[in-house]
Amino acid sequence: MSSNLPLLNYDFALNQLGGNESLLSKMLGKFSNEFESVSSELAELLASGDIKSAKMRVHTIKGISGNLGLQALYECATKFDAQLREDNYQEDMFQHFSALVEQTCAQIQEREQIKAPAKTLVSPTLSLETSKLELTRKLERNEFIDDDTLINLVSGLSMSEEKSKELIDLIEELQYQDALNLVSAQ
């Protein structure tokens, strides 16, 4: 079951998210946190005969891994999903899938530890009114906001560090309406 596909095709994943490295980093981290122990969960489901729940879990991993460029895992999950759908999964497929999940999560964790330190807010260069107006306009238009511009606009809002981080997280997760509500409360 050897595959020449990469565990993570970073360029593909980055392209899927419009070049937003911060969002990709968050999504990879969430994937790793959510699925690093999925093998034991699946083993329990399969042992208890709950093929339907196991299939749903594998199907979810298949979809997410495909979108995040986790190509080797996607290929394996596609095959494992098909076996589960036919109620004819094989133990060696489960073992291969489990190993790929573990390797993929390890690579994500290793990559994320190497990433640059968290963004820090800078001294505001824009007034509160200008920052609020410009950020609101960009969010209402669902515009992509590069990291430097985002930091500059949020710094100009004079929010607490906690609120600023919350706002940045909302924007990076594309939750623009929640971000607009937070900006409006300023």
pLDDT tens sequence across 9-68: 999 998 888 888 888 888 998 899 899 889 999 999 999 999 999 999 999 999 999 999
Q: How many domains does the structure of the chain reveal?
A: 2
pTM: 0.61
Q: 96 and 14: one domain?
A: yes
Q: Is 45 in the same domain as 100?
A: yes
Residue-range definition of the domain harbouring residue 45: 10-114
Considering only CA atoms, give the Rg of the chain.
Answer: 20
Average model confidence (pLDDT) across the chain: 85
Asked if residue 40 and residue 93 are part of one domain, the reply reads yes
- In angstroms, the CA 149 to CA 119 distance is 12
Note whether 84 and 35 are same-domain residues.
Answer: yes
C-alpha to C-alpha distance for 179 and 60, rounded to whole angstroms: 28
- Look at residue 158 and give its three-state secondary structure: coil
Closest CA to 23 of 157, 162, 176, 184: 176
74 occurs within a structural domain: yes
CATH number, domain of 51, equals 1.20.120
- Domain end call among 87, 114, 141: 114
| pLDDT grade for 3, boundaries at 50, 70 and 90 | low
Both 16 and 101 in one domain: the answer is yes
Q: Which residues lie below 8 Å from residue 25, measured CB to CB, with a gap of 6+?
A: 112, 115
Residues 157 and 180 in one domain: yes
74 and 150: one domain? no
Residue 118: other Cβ atoms inside 10 A:
8
Average pLDDT over residues 64-78: 95
Distance CA 83, CA 88 (A): 5
Which carries the bigger pLDDT value, residue 86 or residue 126? 86
Domain boundary residue among 114, 136, 159? 114
Closest by alpha carbon to 94, among 41, 151, 150?
Answer: 41
Residue 122 pLDDT: 46
The Cα diameter of the chain in Å comes to 63
Q: What are phi and psi of 42, to 5 degrees?
A: -65, -40
In a domain, residue 121? The reply is no
Residue ending a domain, among 114, 139, 157, is 114
- Pair 98, 158 in one domain: no
